[in-house]
Amino acid sequence: MSRLIVISNRVSAPKGRSPAGAQGGLAVALGAMLREYRGLWFGWSGEKTDHFTGQINMHREDGITTATIDLEEQDVDEYYNGYANRTLWPLFHYRIDLAEYDRSFGSGYERVNHRFAETVAPLIEPDDLVWVHDYHLIPLATQLRQAGLKNRIGFFLHIPWPPRRLLVSLPFHERLVRSMLDYDLIGFQNEEWLDSFRDYVRYELGGTIEEDGTIIVGKRKVKAGCFPIGVDFEEFTEAVKSEETQQAYHRLLKSAEGKSVIVGVDRLDYSKGLEERFWGYRRFLEEHPDYHRHVLLLQVAPPSRGEVHTYEAIRERLDELSGRINGGFAEVDWVPIRYVNRGYNRAELAGFYRASDVGLITPLRDGMNLVAKEYVAAQDPEDPGVLILSRFAGAATQLRDALLVNPYSKDEISDAIRQALDMPLDERKRRWQSMYDSVEKEDVVWWRQNFVQALKGVEKRANLTIAS
């Protein structure tokens, strides 16, 4: 059996070593996968070093072998905080107003991709499958090919792919997209992002799309497809039975004192629509005074990417907004928003989800959103909560029985909260059951198998013409 070499910017630390909630969907999903596969997971340790040495720190724990490297401060600034999170992240989430372009970011991004390639290439054997993840490492295949690798190399984008008309605002966009043609398989979360990618290939690169989905640009052939990521269903539903989940569940229920609980769980990121969500909840409170003292919003949002100023700014605005809403509506014995800036482990989160009547997940744009799926997986079948989900989250294409809302509309959020709180039990059960079936069937194992099968199915590079 071929080994699987997973390469991503962030490598999940073994259990108990990383702050809860700080890792996001990618790390959670990959950890599950690597436990099943022989192989290793390569990436940045999250640590800084004075001078880059390329020294690899190998670690084996909990069935996973990780190989990590430290990066220089300048690398972290230009590559991670810079090009990845100040340029690509906002642009790929349709926020060209927030995207920053700086020559040093682009060269830092190239440099770190080169460093990744040089360091990992000697660890890769000829029959290994290589799976690269996310926007931090788009040009990695090009660098690996230059290092002589002929292996099958796949790429999965965890975030949206922007429409062509937005992408062309990126300086050197063509160079970035052309570098993707060095992969053998490119995966997106849903049809919308795949379509946008194909649209770019057709109109900017003059490429063609074959009936089986193969993309052809000059002498290059690449497969591109849709592979929506899922949750580690088995592990998550096991967690729901744990003592820790029970404690978290009772803790929240007890403290709610009979009020209906609406829960939101997100990294503190402007793409998650937290500000708009608070405004929507405020509209609900304005429109429905009968619900005052009978409802509370628990928003868990651990800080993320704190060195990037747009993240500092959203944090400040949310502190202020939650304070204003609480100040305006609270009573001596009722606070409408519990805004918590810390992470919890997944067993605790499962308890909070289960104790909540409504899951309010309203990103402005999101590749998938695993929290929405976790919320569904954690519900009590006899008394399930209602999921309110942004129609702009990748998950909305699978979770059609959520109450789908436009996250920019205060009115839609307010109406959906009202509808969710008033929903009769039989409708709650019907909606939940269909979402649960999809979350169970299309889980992380299904995702991984589909992608790896598709990657195994592509012809090896040795037999293909590779343009210079």
| Catalytic site positions | 158, 366
Task: Candidates 11, 124, 159, 248: give the one binding ligand F6P (CB under 6 A).
Answer: 159
Is 285 a binding residue for ligand ADP by CB under 6 A? The answer is no
From 66, 142, 304, 369, residue interacting with ligand F6P (rule: CB under 6 A): 304
Among 350, 351, 392, which Cα is nearest to 373's? 350
Rounded to an integer, what distance in angstroms lies between the CA atom of residue 437 and that of residue 454?
24
Q: How far is the CB of 224 from ligand F6P (least distance, A)?
A: 19
Among ligand ADP, ligand F6P, none, partner that 305 touches (CB below 5 to 8 angstroms by kind): ligand F6P
By CB under 6 A, residue 228 contacts ligand F6P: no
For residues 346 and 354, which CB has a smaller minimum distance to ligand ADP in the complex?
Answer: 346
Of 38, 41, 78, 39, residue with least CA distance to 57: 41
> Which span sits near ligand ADP by CB under 6 A: 109-117, 160-168, 255-263, 340-348?
340-348
**Near ligand ADP in 15-34, by CB under 6 A:** 20-21, 24-26, 28
The binder of 395, among ligand ADP, ligand F6P, none, by C-beta within 5 to 8 A per type, is none
Rounded to a whole number of angstroms, the minimum distance from the CB of residue 459 to ligand ADP is 32
Tell me if 228 sits within 8 A of 189, measured CB to CB: yes
229 vs 458, beta carbon nearer ligand ADP: 229
Residues between 215 and 274 that touch ligand ADP (CB under 6 A) = 265-267
Pick the binder of ligand F6P from 70, 75, 128, 134 (CB under 6 A). Answer: 134
Q: CB-wise, 25 or 139, nearer to ligand F6P? A: 25
Spatial distance between the Cα atoms of 164 and 387, rounded to a whole number of angstroms: 32
- Smallest distance, Å, CB 456 to ligand F6P? 24
Q: Which of ligand ADP, ligand F6P, none interacts with 10 (beta carbon under 5 to 8 A by kind)?
A: ligand F6P
Of 18 and 260, the one with the shorter C-beta distance to ligand F6P is: 18
96 lies in the site for ligand ADP, by CB under 6 A? no
Least distance (Å) between residue 131 CB and ligand ADP:
17
Q: Does 75 engage in binding with ligand F6P (CB under 6 A)?
A: no
Residue 187 in the binding site for ligand ADP (CB under 6 A): no
Residues 6+ apart with CB under 8 A from 387: 358, 359, 361, 372, 375, 376, 399, 402, 403, 431, 432, 435
Q: Which CB, 21 or 106, lies closer to ligand F6P?
A: 21
Asked if 346 touches ligand ADP (CB under 6 A), the answer is yes
Q: Which residues make up the interface to ligand F6P (CB under 6 A)?
A: 10, 24-27, 134, 158-159, 304-305
Q: Which residues make up the interface to ligand ADP (CB under 6 A)?
A: 20-21, 24-26, 28, 265-267, 300-302, 343-344, 346, 349, 368-371, 374
